[in-house]
Amino acid sequence: MVVPRFFLFLFLVWGFVGHVAFSADVTPAPDLPLISGDQFKYKVDQSKIPVVLDFWATWCAPCKVYSPVIVETSKSYQGKMVFYKVDVSDFSNDKTVQNYSIQSLPTVLVIVKGQVVERWEGILKTKDLKSKLNQVLKTWGKPSVLKQ
C-alpha cells in the first residue's frame, strides 16, 4: 500500500503549501488607510489637521511590531489628527520616500500644512508616542496655526 500513503502525503503537503501562513504572496492588510502616489497632494498637503504618516514595509519585522502601537494610538486622536500608512515597497511611493529622505523603518512623520514638523525613526512605546503627539497638538494643533 505504498501508493495510497504517497497520495496522502501529497494531499497533506499540498494543503500546507496552499495555507495562508505558507504563502509568500499574502500581504496583511494594514489597520490604517494606505496612502500613495498622487493622494499626497489632497490628503496630506491640504489637510486641515496634522497628518501622521507611518512609513513601513511588509518585509520589515520592526514595522510589524510597531504597527499595533500606531493603530492603537490613532484611536485616541480621531478628529485631531489623521493617520496613514505609506508602504515603501509600493513603487508609486518612490518619489515620496525620496522627498522625505526615508532611510530607516519604521519612520513616522507628522505633517502640518504640507511641512514636516516632527520625525521619529524606530519604535516608540505607546506612552512615549502619545506624549510626542500631544506636544505636536500643543504646538501645531491650534486653529490659528492651521488656518494660515
Q: Which residues are catalytic?
A: 60, 63
**Strands ordered across the beta sheet of 51-56:** 82-87, 51-56, 107-112, 115-121
For 94, other C-beta atoms within 10 Å of its C-beta total 12
- Nearest CA to 106 out of 60, 68, 44 is that of 60
For residue 131, which amino acid is it? S
3-state percent breakdown (helix, strand, coil) of the chain, nearest 5? 45, 20, 35
- Asked if residue 17 lies in contact with residue 72, where contact means CB atoms within 8 angstroms, the answer is no
Q: Cell numbers for 115, please give them.
A: 511641512
